Amino acid sequence: MIPVRGYEGRKVAVLGLGRSGLATARALIAGGAEPCLWDDSPEARANAEAAGYSLTDLTRGNAWDEVATLIVSPGIPHLYPEPNKLIARAMAAGVPVDNDIGLFFRSWSTPDWDDMDQVPKVIAVTGSNGKSTTTALIHHILQVAGRPTQMAGNIGRGVLDIEPAQDGEVVVLELSSYQTELARAMTPDIAVFTNLSPDHLDRHGGHGGYFAAKRRLFAEGGPDRAVIGVDEVEGRFLANQLAQGVGDDRVIRISSGVKLEGPGWSVFARKGFLAEWRKGRQVASIDLREVRGLPGAHNHQNACAAYAATRTLGLAPKLIEEALHSFEGLPHRSQLVGERDGVRFVNDSKATNVDSAAKALQAFPKIRWIAGGLGKDGGIASLKPHLGSVVKAYLIGHSARDFALELGDTPHEICETMESAVARAAEEAEAGDVVLLAPAAASFDQYPNFEKRGEDFAARVRALIG
């Protein structure tokens, strides 16, 4: 773990006792602080006590005496739609509010770094879609390159749960808007912004607040390099804000679908080919069409982001290309789970909204689409421009009939359950088809989370194909 520095002998309140909260408690104890732990959930408090932790009832007025700071888990609102009552109390009392990301950046570097040949680095990835895949892909490329590396944050382990740095190590962090919005310290060496689409708007007070939360990763500490997706206006604005001139290669612009021109540093993918340009000329190219773990334009954007980030570390294009081909993808994100008689079965259970479903639907030419679940506001009407590749839809869950009404002329069948949908799609599929789970809906009508939904899909596919 990373012992928290700067709070030796002082009280630190921790609100939220999930994965990150308990990791924070351990790191505070290791750093000599006195954590005061609390959770609004009785179940979470009971689990913490069962794990051997002592609790402090932060709802009592005297509990805040001599508290140096309050560390908040990411799922707890601190501003919109309204602050948690204990966070509001801390703010009223003038107690600084922070999170584990802020503690990590305060504590990551240590005096023994002076004896290292290569100073460790941090790559931090944020954005609306693709940040998990991009983070995992960067981590994979570094592993193939033989660089010591750890992955943490919104994926894998909590940031304070990783091991202290080795000589030349690169830590890759996935950071959500919940994490970037509140952290009081963020100083990555390389920061990556994939894209922006509406999400968590109630938590951030609207689209502008959501973008502002992401932007803090670049504005607070000032990374040495910034990799910016410029396919939306917010990305173009951010790249413009960070660059000091047209040739400033501290900012690397990336795109999926648009050729980027100019004297600066850019990486873009068009028609299945990734191209790197510097100072007005092309310096490398990679054919992404046969990279099975990264299908579709949205994954090609992820490839561009990971390529750019690892190029800033001096990795050779050929080595990165080799690593792209050995990347198997993340579970539930365009994950190939089986193949039979020329039919591929792809699990994109993470496609819980129309934007991510649209990207999945654009990744394959002939799709038998399994969709449905607990639909979100607005339904799937906005997906109509992306249904041209859908041979037939197989609808499941609470919103199956609502989705059917919005599909227009697209052939469809109401299957209700995953078992029925997989069986019918597999029965009707022909060579060259892709049976794609991209629900465009939440999972909570039939499953506790999108992971369990994807696991059910994968299990039924494997049972069918043997």
pLDDT recorded at residue 451: 95
129 known member of a binding site: yes
**Distance in angstroms (rounded) separating the CA atoms of residues 292 and 255:** 20
Q: Residue 71: name the closest of 107, 120, 111 by CA.
A: 107
User: Residues 252, 266: contact at Cβ < 8 Å?
Assistant: yes
197 known member of a binding site: no
User: Residues 418, 394: contact at Cβ < 8 Å?
Assistant: no
Q: Residue 264: name the closest of 284, 277, 281, 247 by CA.
A: 247
pLDDT recorded at residue 129: 87
pLDDT recorded at residue 198: 80
User: Residues 47, 17: contact at Cβ < 8 Å?
Assistant: yes
**Distance in angstroms (rounded) separating the CA atoms of residues 160 and 164:** 9
Please give the angle made by the CA atoms of 454, 295 and 388, to the nearest 5 degrees: 85
pLDDT recorded at residue 177: 96
pLDDT recorded at residue 329: 87
121 known member of a binding site: no
Please give the angle made by the CA atoms of 455, 458 and 460, to the nearest 5 degrees: 110
Going residue by residue through the chain, which has 466 residues, state the pLDDT in tens, using 9 for 90 and above. Answer: 999 999 999 999 999 999 899 999 999 999 999 999 999 999 999 999 999 999 999 999 889 999 999 999 998 999 999 999 999 999 999 999 999 999 999 999 999 999 999 999 999 999 998 999 999 999 999 999 999 999 999 998 999 999 999 999 999 999 999 999 999 999 999 999 999 988 788 999 999 999 999 999 999 878 999 999 999 999 999 999 999 998 899 999 999 999 998 899 999 999 999 999 999 999 999 999 989 899 999 999 999 999 999 999 999 999 999 999 999 889 999 999 999 999 999 999 999 989 889 999 999 999 999 999 999 888 999 999 999 999 999 999 999 999 999 999 999 999 999 999 999 999 999 999 999 999 999 999 999 999 999 999 999 999 999 7
443 known member of a binding site: no
pLDDT recorded at residue 80: 95
Q: Which domains does the chain have, with CATH numbers?
A: 11-98 (3.40.50.720), 105-326 (3.40.1190.10), 335-465 (3.90.190.20)
Q: Residue 108: name the closest of 44, 161, 47, 148 by CA.
A: 161
**Distance in angstroms (rounded) separating the CA atoms of residues 61 and 232:** 47
pTM across the whole model: 0.90
Quick one: 152 exposed, middle or buried, by C-beta within 10 A (0-12, 13-18, 19+)?
buried
127 known member of a binding site: yes
**Distance in angstroms (rounded) separating the CA atoms of residues 264 and 268:** 13
pLDDT recorded at residue 197: 86
User: Residues 33, 64: contact at Cβ < 8 Å?
Assistant: no
Omega prior to 439 cis, within 30 of 0: no
